[in-house]
Copies of this chain bind each other. A is one copy, B any other.
Amino acid sequence: MTSPRTRRLAVLASGRGSNFRALADAAARGTLGGTIAVLACDRGDAGAIELSRERGIPVELPDPGPSPRRLDAAAAPAWIERLRAHDVDTLLLAGFMRILPPTILDAFPGRVLNIHPSLLPAFPGLDAIARAFAHGVRQAGCTVHLVTAGIDDGPILGQAAVAVEDGDSVASLAERVHAAEHRLYPEVVRRFLGEPFAVVGRRVVWAAGERA
C-alpha cells in the first residue's frame, strides 16, 4: 500500500493539456496529494505530450483503436497494462476525448475522475460551454466527477460556478471556465486522495462534512 502522500496518478489527455499542466503544477508544489507517474495520450500530436516531456513525466501512447470517440474495447488490455506498469491506482481524465470501455473502469474501480466544463447535470457531452452560452445561462461552470458508464453522469466530487458577464462571447466565457477548471481540478483531486467519502445514492458525502 502506498500512503496518501505518495499516491501514483495517471493523467489521460487528448489535447493541449491545460488541465494536465494545472495538475502537474499542483503535484510539483506538493499540493495535489499524489505524484503524476504517467501521461497517457490517444494521439501523438497532443500538446500535453510536450509539456510532459518538459517536466520529465513519462508518456504512453497506446493504440486507442479505430473509433474516433471511443477507446476500443479490444485496445483496453494494452492501455491497462501500460498504465499498471507505472504502478498507478487513479486515472485523471483531462480533456481525454474518448469514452472509456467498462474494462478500464473495472480495472480502476471508483478511481477514475473527469473534469467537464459545465455545471452538470446541465450540458453533458460535447461543446458544453458553447451550448450553455447559446442557452443563455447566467451561471456557467465546471464539474469534477467520478467516471461511470454514463456520459458525464457519475457522482459529483466538486463544482465551481462561473458567472456569465454582459458582453461575454463564447471565447471570453470559455477562458474563465477553463481558469476555474485549473483551480478546481487539483483541489478536488487532493480532497479525493486525502479524505474519506461515501457515495449515498448518487451524492458524494465527505467524511469531514458528516462529522461537522
Contacts and interface: CB of A to CB of B under 8 A. Distances in A.
Contacts of A150: none
Interface in A115-159: 119-122, 133-139, 141, 143, 155-159
A196 interface: no
A160 to B, nearest CB: 7
Interface in A195-212: 201-204, 206, 208-210, 212
Contact of A202 (B121, B136, B155, B201): B136
Interface stretch (A26-34, A77-85, A161-169): A161-169
B122 A166 contact: no
Given A139-B119, A209-B167, A203 B159 contact: no
A161 B136 contact: no
Contact of A159 (B138, B202, B210): B138
Interface in A33-91: none
B212 A166 contact: yes
A204 B139 contact: no
Interface of A: 119-122, 133-139, 141, 143, 155-161, 163, 165-168, 201-204, 206, 208-210, 212
